[in-house]
Structure 1
């Protein structure tokens, strides 16, 4: 379903082999949180989605874990940015802005974090909407 949704928006989207259930369980253990079910379903089909320019619209699971552990670390950016604890980053635009699920309070919407202004802005109504917009749009499609 997820690969088909991505390919419908961008036939040249690139996919990786799926993530196995033990790797997903280990990722959740390392994060200390559950991954959103929609993201688990996508990663079970493909370990990330890349556009033809090499932008990881959906990061591989290893990057999802590493980026979130970094951003959730209390010592990482305490004087630069608002807390990232409510967010789960899973993709980017290739220019530094990152896309995230909101974990607290849980909601289906996708928000973009602007790395220059520290703003967090609504970008899509859910993962399928995000894929459609991110893969079909160019540049700063969420603005």
Structure 2
């Protein structure tokens, strides 16, 4: 399902080999948060998706761990921005802005949010990962989420 949908939206999409359940579990172990079911499902089909002009569409397990860890533990970022602990970044726009889930103690999906690196705004942009992929594909330029 994921590859068909993404190919329909992004002609030049590039798919990585699927991530294993153990690799996805590493995200939860390192970040201390459950991976949203829809992201877990996508990663089981492809460990990240890239498309021309769509930098960081959906990151790999390794990128998710590295980026979230950096945002949460960088002292300089902590002085500039609110805490990132409740966010789970999974993609970016190539210009510094990131896309994330807000992780709550409940397993409830709260949708996809954009984090603006200039203003520290955290804005809802999509109901789900599918909605995010569709909105991003239909956008004209990188500012679709503003």
Do the structures match in fold with TM over 0.5? yes
Q: Distance in 2 between matches of 1:130 and 1:13?
A: 15
- Runs of 4+ residues over 4 Å off in structure 1: none
How far residue 10 of structure 1 moved from its aligned partner, in angstroms, is: 1.5
Match of 1:69 in 2: 69
Name which of 107, 130, 137 aligns with 2:132: 130
Give yes or no for contact 2:82–2:120 (8 Å, CA) kept in 1: yes
Partner SS, residue 111 of structure 2 = strand
Give yes or no for contact 1:43–1:61 (8 Å, CA) kept in 2: yes
* Shift in alpha-carbon separation, 1:133–1:64, aligned structure 2, 3 A: same
Match of 2:10 in 1: 10
Report how many residues are paired: 143
- Bigger shift: 126-135 or 20-29? 20-29
Alignment of 1:108-123 (within 5 A): 108-123=110-125
How far residue 11 of structure 1 moved from its aligned partner, in angstroms, is: 2.0
Q: Distance in 1 between matches of 2:11 and 2:135?
A: 14
How far residue 141 of structure 1 moved from its aligned partner, in angstroms, is: 1.1
Give the RMSD, CA atoms, in angstroms.
Answer: 1.6
Match of 2:56 in 1: 56
Match of 2:145 in 1: 142
Give yes or no for contact 1:20–1:44 (8 Å, CA) kept in 2: yes
Structure with bigger helix share is 2
Structure with bigger strand share is 1
User: Structure 2, unaligned stretches of length 5 or more?
Assistant: none
Q: Distance in 2 between matches of 1:50 and 1:35?
A: 20
Partner SS, residue 27 of structure 1 = helix
